Amino acid sequence: NTQYTHSKSQFATIRKVTIYDNKEKVNGKNVPFGTIDAGITYPIAFEYGDWWGIIYSGRIGYVKKTETSTVSEINEVKTLNHYYMKNDNIEAYKNINQLFISPSSNYLESANNILINKYKIGDYGTFSFPDGIVWDKPIVNENERSYLRELNGHFFLSDLIKSYEVTKKETYIKKGYEIIKDWIDNNSYATTSNSMAWHDETTARRLVQWIHFYHHAKNVLSKKDLEILLANITFHAELLSKDSFYAHNTNHGMFQDEALLAFSEYYKAHKKSDYFKNLAKQRLKDYFNFIISEEGVHLEHSPQYHQIIASSLLSYYNLFDKINDTSMKEYLFQKYEKMSDFATFITKPDGVFPAIGDTEYNFKPSSTLWSNDYYKFAVSKGASGKPHPKTDMVFKNSGYAIFRDSWNKGPDSTYVLFTAAYHTGYHKHSDDLNMWIYSKGTDIIVEAGPHGYDYHNAFTEYGYSSFAHNTLIVNDKGLPRHDSQYKKVYIESYQLDKNKAKVRGVNERYKNVKHIRDIQYDKLNQMIEVNDTIQSSVRNNYKLLWHMAEGIEVELEKIHNNTYKVYLFKNENKIATIEVTSESKIELNIVKGQKNPPLGWKLLIKGENVPINTLIISTNDDTAKIKTNFILH
């Protein structure tokens, strides 16, 4: 190059980009001769249509504009002074306030407790720290990881902020800064041993909390303190933008992008603001395209997280609506609207989500997330809206089959759920070919449910395992939670008629074992017929598990070697009979509340776990066929 020089204008790379030579061509195409990593700012030499011209290693190169974001050079001191202005950024604050964590209902009491070093950490209780917060060691015995997430995410700052907004007492802001400064001093990114201090999602949540806090702190704190706070806020944003720190294709990554959106909107004058915003937009699109199926189903196989992601889509839609980004707004709205069908059908007749995947027991879907009549009818148990014209729905590629006898019976309806898919490890349990039955006001066949995220806890491990679900165990070993065999669990076929609904699922994750489960729901006779075909070339021990809901007692009757009946009672009333037959020799047992190893439990994230009856059907064979009929009375 002898013709061009660097200009003052720069671009920032959204992802790793390729540099092309415009003169040398192979088969009519430009020849690449270099790359620039993601997150790098680089000077522009000239503009050439859809390309930036740059000087690279002494040569002229071309970079696609669509892979970059323009960056204006701004004097850093001027930028800092801009954000110390007390009455600035009101509009930006309003645009992002929906991203802030809401304060607790008794925020003033909570904030006053913080002033005397007593902190309410989520639902884990109030803890006293007279000698300063212990950031890296849990005080609770269970769900230690979740506790440390809330603590290091600074969720409690919302109560201090709200109390300041209402009372204008500066002591709440000064206490908040004292806490933030203590965290900064004790959690260096390079040296900390605190595993949750720089956890991907925790870091993102903390950044949003700090931005929320900063907006009010600039009315109270000194310029020196604000400089420290702003420098650390900027470091968080830089870290969250790095590809090496990013949690790709997970909701944790989504929260990282959410934090970058909050930063880029509030700190618009920052030299990387546009870069952070465009990076977050592109990553969000990549994530939503990956994690939401064309059927509108969130593919982490947890209805609770389906709602969380849908709620996030709506929140981002509102944000981009406020900042007049029409293209992103429309993209998000289409994704959000598509998700309502699954939320409608997955809701049980009692208006509650089934506790599958990481969905906790008794989780009620939002009554306002979607406004269409079908969704409102499902979540209100028929009190408002109108019933969907279809009683049965199969989301084949997403791995769900959901059957009902009627929408019009309200909580007295019968509901059968079948799951067969494996798309990603997050929030997915080893629940392949699992089934849930609800009828006439009560759950009948359920599963253990989740037990939080403390992976060292035996009940947490049990909750993820095959032993906590209505599925197959081979040689007393279940499947790992993750093994990346995504294409080996699937719905093969289904048939929906007026009075009968059928579905077939296949699980090939076990080595040299294929499990085929055929389910037929006969609505007229209120019977669910399950045919399990287990195929192998070698003899194995097979166990099929069926978990009864809390409060259901059982009586086991052996008819002869290959036929059993199990009678289910609730409040001394017989509510169902299970008939089990096989050509193989089978044995049936009931386990309830076994502690070592855990088996036969309903798990609760909050409160004591509940022993439940679990039916175990065992056989030793190479290929086995077991028929299990659930007859509802």
**Separation between Cα atoms, residue 257 and residue 350, nearest integer Å:** 36
- Residue 161 makes CB contacts below 8 A (sequence gap 6+) with 103, 172, 173, 176, 212, 213, 216
Q: Are 430 and 466 in contact (CB under 8 A)?
A: yes
Q: How many domains does the chain have?
A: 3
Residues in a beta bridge with 418: 401, 435
Instruction: Tell me the average pLDDT across 353-366.
Output: 95
572 within domain boundaries:
yes
Instruction: Tell me the average pLDDT across 435-441.
Output: 97
- pLDDT at position 561: 81
Instruction: Tell me the average pLDDT across 375-381.
Output: 97
CA-CA-CA-CA torsion sign (39, 45, 46, 50) = negative
- pLDDT at position 73: 39
Which amino acid would we find at residue 532?
Answer: D
- pLDDT at position 451: 87
CA-based nearest residue to 513, from 497, 537, 531, 480: 537
**What DSSP designation does 486 have?**
G
Share of the chain above pLDDT 70, in %: 96
**Pair of tokens at residue 490:** 């699937």
Same structural domain, 237 and 172: yes
According to the per-residue pLDDT averaged within each range, which of 12-16, 28-32, 248-252 is highest?
248-252
Instruction: Tell me the average pLDDT across 387-413.
Output: 97
Listed residues 243, 259, 275: the one ending a domain: 259
Same structural domain, 442 and 472: yes
Does residue 72 register a pLDDT over 50? no
According to the per-residue pLDDT averaged within each range, which of 45-54, 228-237, 497-506 is highest?
497-506
- pLDDT at position 74: 38
- pLDDT at position 80: 60
Q: Of 68-72, 133-137, 589-593, where does mean pLDDT reach its minimum?
A: 68-72
Instruction: Tell me the average pLDDT across 122-145.
Output: 83
Q: Which residue has the tokens 């998700």?
A: 339
Does residue 113 register a pLDDT over 80? yes
Does residue 103 register a pLDDT over 50? yes
Question: In whole angstroms, what separates CA 493 from the centre of its chain?
Answer: 28
Does residue 71 register a pLDDT over 60? no
278 within domain boundaries:
no
Does residue 366 register a pLDDT over 50? yes
- pLDDT at position 82: 67
Instruction: Tell me the average pLDDT across 333-360.
Output: 97
606 confidence band (pLDDT: 50, 70, 90): confident
Does residue 359 register a pLDDT over 80? yes
27 confidence band (pLDDT: 50, 70, 90): confident
Same structural domain, 94 and 56: no
- pLDDT at position 211: 96
Q: Which of the two residues, 551 and 122, has the higher pLDDT score?
A: 551
Q: Which of the two residues, 82 and 524, has the higher pLDDT score?
A: 524
CB atoms within 10 A of CB 137: 8
81 confidence band (pLDDT: 50, 70, 90): low
Same structural domain, 245 and 348: no
Same structural domain, 60 and 140: no
CATH number at residue 143: 1.50.10.100
**What DSSP designation does 193 have?**
-
Same structural domain, 190 and 215: yes
**What DSSP designation does 275 have?**
H
**Separation between Cα atoms, residue 624 and residue 474, nearest integer Å:** 12
Q: Phi and psi dihedrals of 486, rounded to 5?
A: -65, -30
224 within domain boundaries:
yes
Instruction: Tell me the average pLDDT across 436-461.
Output: 90
Same structural domain, 523 and 578: yes
Q: What is the pLDDT of residues 267-304, one digit of tens each?
A: 988 888 999 999 999 999 999 999 999 999 999 999 99
Q: Which of the two residues, 49 and 439, has the higher pLDDT score?
A: 439
Listed residues 259, 279, 298: the one ending a domain: 259
Burial of 21 (0-12, 13-18, 19+ CB in 10 A): middle
Same structural domain, 518 and 602: yes
Instruction: Tell me the average pLDDT across 89-103.
Output: 93
Q: Are 236 and 230 in contact (CB under 8 A)?
A: no
Q: Are 625 and 584 in contact (CB under 8 A)?
A: yes
Instruction: Tell me the average pLDDT across 5-25.
Output: 80
586 within domain boundaries:
yes
Q: What is the mean pLDDT of the chain?
A: 92
CATH number at residue 593: 2.70.98.70
Q: What is the pLDDT of residues 164-204, one digit of tens each?
A: 999 999 999 999 999 999 999 899 887 788 889 999 999 99
Does residue 626 register a pLDDT over 90? yes
**Pair of tokens at residue 493:** 């076929």
Same structural domain, 484 and 626: yes
Does residue 464 register a pLDDT over 50? yes
CB atoms within 10 A of CB 589: 11
The alpha helices in 221-296, defined as continuous H runs, are 223-241, 251-266, 273-291
Q: Is 330 helix (H, G, I), strand (E, B) or coil?
A: helix
- pLDDT at position 77: 47
Listed residues 233, 259, 285: the one ending a domain: 259
Q: Which residue has the tokens 């059957």?
A: 403
Does residue 577 register a pLDDT over 80? yes
Produce one character per residue of 62-93: b if its CB has 16 or more CB atoms within 10 Å, e if not. bbeeebbbebeeeeeeebbebbeeeeebeebb
Residues in a beta bridge with 444: none
588 within domain boundaries:
yes
CA-based nearest residue to 625, from 503, 535, 490: 535
Same structural domain, 355 and 255: no
**Is the omega angle on the peptide bond into residue 597 within 30 degrees of 0, that is, cis?**
yes
Pairing of strands 594-595, 17-26: unpaired
97 within domain boundaries:
yes
418 within domain boundaries:
yes
User: Cα–Cα distances in Å, from 235 out to 15, 209, 210, 593?
Assistant: 19, 14, 12, 49
325 within domain boundaries:
no
Same structural domain, 148 and 47: no
Instruction: Tell me the average pLDDT across 332-341.
Output: 97
Q: Are 17 and 34 in contact (CB under 8 A)?
A: no
Burial of 390 (0-12, 13-18, 19+ CB in 10 A): middle
DSSP tally for the chain: helices H, then strands E = 15, 31
- pLDDT at position 397: 97
**Separation between Cα atoms, residue 293 and residue 276, nearest integer Å:** 27
Same structural domain, 26 and 92: no
pTM tops 0.85, yes or no: no
Domain boundaries, position 596: 337-632
CB atoms within 10 A of CB 115: 14
